[in-house]
Amino acid sequence: MSAVPSPSHGQINTDLLRPLLKTSWKFFAVVVVLGGIVVAALLAWLSQMFFGFGISGIRWPVYWGFYVTSFVFWIGISHAGTLISAILRLVDAGWRRPVTRCAEVITVFALMIGAMFPIIHLGRPWLAFWLFPYPSERLIWPNFRSPLVWDFFAINTYLTGSVLFLFLPMIPDFAVVRDKSTGLRRRIYTLLAVGWRGTPKQWHRLESAMAIMAIAIVPVAVSVHTIVSFDFSMAPVPMWQSTIFGPYFVAGAIFSGIAGLLIAMAILRRVLHLERYLHPIHFENLGKLLLVMALLWGYFVFNERLVTYYGNEPSEMAVFWRTQRESFAPLYWTMVFGNFVLPLVIMGIKRFRTITGCVIASLGVIVGMWLERFLIIVPSLGHKYLPYSYGIYRPQPVEIIIAGATFAAMALLYVLFVKIVPIISIWELKAGDHQPPDGSHPVAEKRSLREVEG
Amino acid sequence: MKAVYALYPDGHSAQQAVVRLHAAGVNDRDITIQSAQPIEDFEFGHRDKATWMWWIACGGALIGMASALGLAWLTEMSWPIDVGGLPIFAWWPNLIITFELTMLGAIVATVVTLVLTARLGRGSDIYDAEVSDGKILVGVVNPSESAVAGLEAALTAPPGAQLKKI
Amino acid sequence: MKWGMAVDLDRCDGCAACVTACHAENNISTVGADQASRGRAKHWIRVERYWEGEFPDVRLKFRPVMCQHCENAPCEPVCPTYASHHTADGLNAQVYNRCIGTRYCANACPYNVRFFDFFNPSWDKPLHLQLNPDVSLREVGVMEKCTFCVQRIKATTIQAKAEDRPVADGEIKPACAQACPAQALVFGDLDDPESAVSRLSRSSRGSKLLEDRGTKPAVTYLSRQS
């Protein structure tokens, strides 16, 4: 437990509103640098559309590469918010309070970035709107039997739900900012606060809405990454047609999401001086969760590979050895180290479960999970059934720039968000002091007039 | 007079104020309470808890489910296209779209209900910016002239009260 | 009407006349040596060549592979826009106008017979005069593959209907079957038990490519005997 004393209400307001009300030159420098990288990626994508898809490394028969890897990776990262925010809210874990909004923000932005990739990787992206079911003059609708259409519905549902899940608890905080600001800023936040006054009725409605959303968003999150895994398991490709893909991907998503959250929290704590709010115990708790997910990831990988190995089917074993022993072995073993060995060692030993330790383990997981997505896609596609049609994928600059710039885009969106909204939910942090005494049935303090008058 | 209210530093005082207002003959409906957090540890924070929101969310879910099934059925039957030998209306794949739109229906219904029942977006009757600093506001809107003195007495009695009239 | 093909591997000598004819008939552009080495060539029919054994007991085997027009085509359910679907006469159709280029169909195809247009096609003059007006040009970003020369199928069936007579066996020849000097490729109606392709499909030498995948291809390969 932390020795830092609990801050007063006024101090909470000051600390958490400081990023909104004060801006230094460092903010603009960071935005310019990150923005520059994002613009470079945009130019890369435009050049891909202009010069033709051939400037990428995609080839026969490896038709999916860095773009789909990034897609699955970012959708995976987006599962951070749901787990921390919704599940911990449902089990009433108090330690979630300073962490929920950080997590929910990651979800929304990671989803937005991930959802760009189904458009970026299209041969004709200007026709992406055909995935939306609308009565077209061609009298044709999307193919609801296709996993890509399931993707469309799932990601949109999850994005809508996550944005609302993020926005609803921000309303009381927007009201606080509204009250503290003047001029144009005040008008903007008045609009965002949608007339919030803080009556008990409003609080109860908000809490009911949050509870329903928390219950609804968890199955949606599970379904989203399961459906993303169906993009692979629905095709008869060696080592893709595995029934384990659904749970495997969901576990991997939660795993990478927690890692992303830990890194974001560590950076925020340092840059915004939130030492009083993000305590080492928060990192330790999340670190334990990271350890559990690492074990779960190892369990799923073991399951998948043992069954393949035992089945000894020629085309599957060819891909199996390709990752484990042959050309992809360096990437494969790096992945195992980053996803399994490193988190187990660092998170498993109490002495290493510090904030720095959590960040190192999380960075390893981020690298490992990206590699895992890549190693699912590329080795299998390059080595299907007919040996004459095997192929080797070599990523080209346009793909590397776009895939790499997504990290800059995430950072940029986060930096801009932190400037506009308090990154720790002010009212939720304070509301932790006003819980009903025994948590289950509120034994509310109620006095009669005679008691009051003494 | 538009309203008479007082700001209290904590829940104890606010609860006393509410009790005194009741004694002065004011209905629950006419008492306005505002706070910067949900005050669950006092009785006054428990009003207006009952809500239809859960039922409406279920209703929204049903509408979403019906829309998805309708969409899939109508579009797949209007132009039956053979893909890979699968049935034209295949249950297993269509259940996925159905699930997603069901959840979307529940989510959207919840948010719409929140906005409407919490009367978000409407202009406020009264509000004091000091509520954001942690004060709890208890007061009466549009009191009758004769009752004002009694209300003032009730509101100023608890410790730490700051009376205001607008 | 269920179109199918039989490929006699005993007759095939790997000359690749079928590949050339297919390019000519279907307006398939060549991509140049550099792009071909990067795997961008679009050979709707290709001659797979396998070397077996060690020198001096080396054997060379040829196998022409084109779209198998599978009954349970894995490429069809995964297309989000119905660009890849099955027609009533047993063809796997690729509708270029619906394709948005997700390339899922190509990944799902176990035979790797689907090709992506990486660039807009171009023909050096005067080769542009050789283009077949019956076949549409595909722009960058769409998938394309063997169609069993559907333009020839349609032309003949429409003509036969106008003349109020059935289509005779052997009347429709896709470009590859027409060009093959050894007559190794036989095309016809599998629903007609007396057609040449049906009889060859029933041969004891006959087998399907990757039959255990359950795709139910419409192409039968007659194994080499010598």
**CA distances (Å), B67 to each of B59, B64, B94, in order?**
12, 5, 12
Give the pLDDT of residue A3: 45
The distance of B37 to chain C (nearest Cα, Å) reads 48
Residue B155 forms part of a structural domain: yes
CA atoms within 13 A on the CB side of A183: 2
| Statement to judge: residues B57 and B92 lie in one domain | yes
User: Is the pLDDT assigned to residue A158 strictly greater than 70?
Assistant: yes
Give the pLDDT of residue A197: 87
A131 and C80 in contact by Cβ < 8 A?
A: yes
Q: Give the whole-angstrom CA distance, residue C129 versus residue A204.
A: 75
> C: neighbours with 3+ CB pairs under 8 Å?
A, B
- Band (pLDDT 50/70/90 cuts) for residue A450 is low
Give the pLDDT of residue A380: 96
Count of structural domains within chain B: 2
- Band (pLDDT 50/70/90 cuts) for residue B123 is low
- Band (pLDDT 50/70/90 cuts) for residue B121 is low
In three-state form (DSSP H/G/I as H, E/B as E, the rest C), the secondary structure along C71-139 is CCCCCCCCCCCCCEEECCCCCEEECHHHCCCCCHHHHHCCCCCCEECCCCCCCCCCHHHHCCCCCCCCC
The answer to whether C87 and C93 have CB atoms below 8 angstroms apart is: yes
Interfacial A residues in 114-173 facing B (CB < 8 Å): 133, 139-141, 143-145, 149-150, 153-154, 156-157, 160-161, 164, 168, 171-172
Question: Which residues lie across from A445 on neighbouring strands?
Answer: B42
Residue A441 forms part of a structural domain: no
| Statement to judge: residues B60 and B21 lie in one domain | no
Residue B73 forms part of a structural domain: yes
Residue A247 forms part of a structural domain: yes
Long-range contacts formed by C192-195: CB under 8 A, 24+ apart: C194/C169, C195/C169
Closest chain C residue by Cα to residue A67: C102
CA atoms within 13 A on the CB side of A407: 11
Contacts (Cβ under 8 Å, ≥6 apart) of B72:
A144, B89, B94, B97, B98
B49 vs A contacts (CB less than 8 Å): 200, 204
Q: Give the whole-angstrom CA distance, residue A78 versus residue A220.
A: 12
A433 vs B contacts (CB less than 8 Å): 37
Closest chain B residue by Cα to residue A221: B100
User: Is the pLDDT assigned to residue C122 strictly greater than 90?
Assistant: no
> Which of B86, B93, B111 faces A164 most closely, judged by CB atoms?
B111
Instruction: Note down the domain range covering C107.
Output: 3-222
Count of structural domains within chain A: 1
Residue A47 forms part of a structural domain: yes
| Statement to judge: residues B60 and B113 lie in one domain | yes
Instruction: Note down the domain range covering B89.
Output: 53-117
Interval A352-380: pLDDT, tens:
888 999 999 999 999 999 999 999 999 99
- Band (pLDDT 50/70/90 cuts) for residue A190 is confident
| Statement to judge: residues B31 and B78 lie in one domain | no
Give the pLDDT of residue B44: 77
User: Is the pLDDT assigned to residue B1 strictly greater than 80?
Assistant: no
**CA distances (Å), A19 to each of A80, A97, A252, B53, C75, in order?**
24, 19, 33, 36, 52
Q: Give the whole-angstrom CA distance, residue A397 versus residue C45.
A: 32
Average pLDDT, stretch A110-118?
95
Q: Give the whole-angstrom CA distance, residue C8 versus residue C6.
A: 6
> Which of A194, A206, A213 faces B121 most closely, judged by CB atoms?
A194
The answer to whether A172 and A152 have CB atoms below 8 angstroms apart is: no
The answer to whether A293 and A83 have CB atoms below 8 angstroms apart is: no
B16 vs A contacts (CB less than 8 Å): 447, 452
Closest chain C residue by Cα to residue A60: C39
Interval A247-278: pLDDT, tens:
999 999 999 999 999 999 999 899 888 888 88
Task: Write out the H or E segment, with its range, that includes residue A107.
Answer: helix A100-120
Count of structural domains within chain C: 1
Residues belonging to chain C with any Cβ–Cβ distance to chain A shorter than 8 Å? 35, 38-41, 46, 48-50, 65, 74, 77-82, 98-104, 106-108, 110-112, 115-120, 139-143, 209-210, 213, 215
| Beta-strand relationship, C92-94 and C84-86 | antiparallel
Peptide bond into A200 cis (omega under 30): no
> Which of C76, C88, C216 faces B83 most closely, judged by CB atoms?
C76
Query: Could you count the other beta carbons within 10 Å of the beta carbon of residue B12?
Result: 17
Share of chain A above pLDDT 90, in %: 66
Residue A321 forms part of a structural domain: yes
Q: Give the whole-angstrom CA distance, residue A236 versus residue C73.
A: 10
- List the CATH number of the domain containing C211: 3.30.70.20
- Band (pLDDT 50/70/90 cuts) for residue A444 is very low
- List the CATH number of the domain containing A366: 1.20.1630.10
Question: Which residues lie across from B93 on neighbouring strands?
Answer: none
Task: Write out the H or E segment, with its range, that includes residue C15.
Answer: none
The distance of B135 to chain A (nearest Cα, Å) reads 10
Average pLDDT, stretch A180-187?
87
Block residue for tokens 């801006």? A23
Q: Give the whole-angstrom CA distance, residue C219 versus residue C92.
A: 12
Average pLDDT, stretch B70-81?
94
What was the ipTM of the complex prediction? 0.92
Instruction: Note down the domain range covering A108.
Output: 13-429
- List the CATH number of the domain containing B17: 3.30.70
Closest chain C residue by Cα to residue A151: C80
Closest chain C residue by Cα to residue A391: C39
Closest chain C residue by Cα to residue B85: C72
Interfacial A residues in 177-236 facing B (CB < 8 Å): 179-180, 194-209, 212-213, 216-217, 219-220, 223, 227
B38 and A179 in contact by Cβ < 8 A?
A: no
Q: Which of A64, A124, A149 is the best mutation test for C, with the most CBs of C within 10 A?
A: A124
Q: Give the whole-angstrom CA distance, residue A397 versus residue A55.
A: 8
C85 and B85 in contact by Cβ < 8 A?
A: no
User: Is the pLDDT assigned to residue A1 strictly greater than 70?
Assistant: no
B111 and A168 in contact by Cβ < 8 A?
A: yes
Average pLDDT, stretch A216-233?
95
Task: Write out the H or E segment, with its range, that includes residue A191.
Answer: helix A183-192
Interval B88-107: pLDDT, tens:
998 999 999 999 999 999 99
Block residue for tokens 């290709």? C46
| Statement to judge: residues B110 and B65 lie in one domain | yes
Write out the two tokens for A13: 């307001």
The answer to whether A137 and A127 have CB atoms below 8 angstroms apart is: no
Residue B122 forms part of a structural domain: no
The answer to whether C111 and A385 have CB atoms below 8 angstroms apart is: yes
CA atoms within 13 A on the CB side of B154: 25
